[in-house]
Amino acid sequence: MNPEKFILELSKHNFQLTDKQKEQFKLYFNFLIEFNQHVNLTRITAEDEVYLKHFYDSITPLFVFGTIFKDGASLCDVGAGAGFPSIPLKILKPTLRVTIVDSLAKRLTFLKELIAKLGLDNVELVHGRAEDVGQNKLYREKFDIVTARAVARMSVLSEYCLPLVKQGGYFVALKGPKAQAELDDGSKAITTLGGKLIKAEELTLPESEEERTLVLMQKIKPTPKKYPRQAGTPRRKPIH
């Protein structure tokens, strides 16, 4: 998917990119490739693949669950790595107030420079483990939307993300193909942490056989105080 096809696909979903937004994606691509030569952020480096598997993939929640991305909504992206999905979402929805949580300082260095290059405002970077951030009063149950893409399986990911979602807010997980088994496996964790599965939508990325599943959960009750547990515990001992 070259930049022109990317622009065309977005227009099919009623997103008409401005010149500024087109330029932001172009700058994003160039800086990602440049920085990636020194710090390993992604193994996907061909322009067509970055636009499809990173940029387009990151914004699919806007097409499927668009109504939750209200103007001015607060969004926390857990384990964003090179900024996916939060930075592409922010480019398309500039009024989003974004907080990015990542445990690796090198990735946050990249994101800090990227945010400056793209001229984005209302983006906060938090250096830490999701488990620690989820117990921090500044962030716990504070966000309208929490996102995570390719971070961990559902039983673990729920413990990273649901504690950050405010009651009535949403958790959006961007997963690979056939995520139903993961959802079944994670159902106890989701319920325990105060979440409720609203929808799991399967899709295929345009002009490819790349299958994805978008998962939408709503936070229907507060997360018990003991969650998230200490850093490393959710992965070692998922809630079952």
105 is in an annotated binding site: no
Residue 149 annotated as binding site: yes
Residue 3 belongs to some domain of the structure: no
Mean pLDDT of the chain: 95
CATH of the domain at 188: 3.40.50.150
47 is annotated as contributing to ligand binding? no
Q: How far is CA 54 from the centre of its chain?
A: 11
**pLDDT value, residue 125:** 97
Contact indicator for 222, 167 with CB cutoff of 8 Å:
yes
Does residue 11 form part of some domain?
A: no
What is the number of structural domains in the chain? 1
What is the per-residue pLDDT across 149-192, written as a single tens digit (0 to 9) for each?
977 889 999 999 999 999 999 999 999 988 888 899 999 999 99
> Has 159 been labeled as part of a binding site?
no
DSSP for the chain?
--HHHHHHHHHHTT----HHHHHHHHHHHHHHHHHHTTS---S--SHHHIIIIIIIHHHHHHHHSGGGS-TT-EEEEET-TTTTTHHHHHHHSTT-EEEEEES-HHHHHHHHHHHHHHT--SEEEEES-HHHHTT-TTTTT-EEEEEEESSS-HHHHHHHHGGGEEEEEEEEEEE-S--HHHHHHTHHHHHHTTEEEEEEEEEE-TTS--EEEEEEEEE-SPPPTT-S-STTHHHHS---
Q: What is the pLDDT of residues 1-25, one digit of tens each?
A: 999 999 999 999 999 999 999 999 9
Host domain of residue 192: 60-236
Answer whether residue 65 is part of any domain. Answer: yes
pLDDT tens sequence across 50-84: 999 999 999 999 999 999 999 999 999 999 889 99
Confirm whether 1 is domain-assigned.
no
* 218 assigned to some structural domain: yes
Is residue 104 in a domain?
yes
Asked if residue 36 is part of any domain, the answer here is no
In a domain, 121, yes or no: yes
124 is in an annotated binding site: no
pTM here is: 0.95
- Find residue 145's DSSP bridge partners: 75, 170
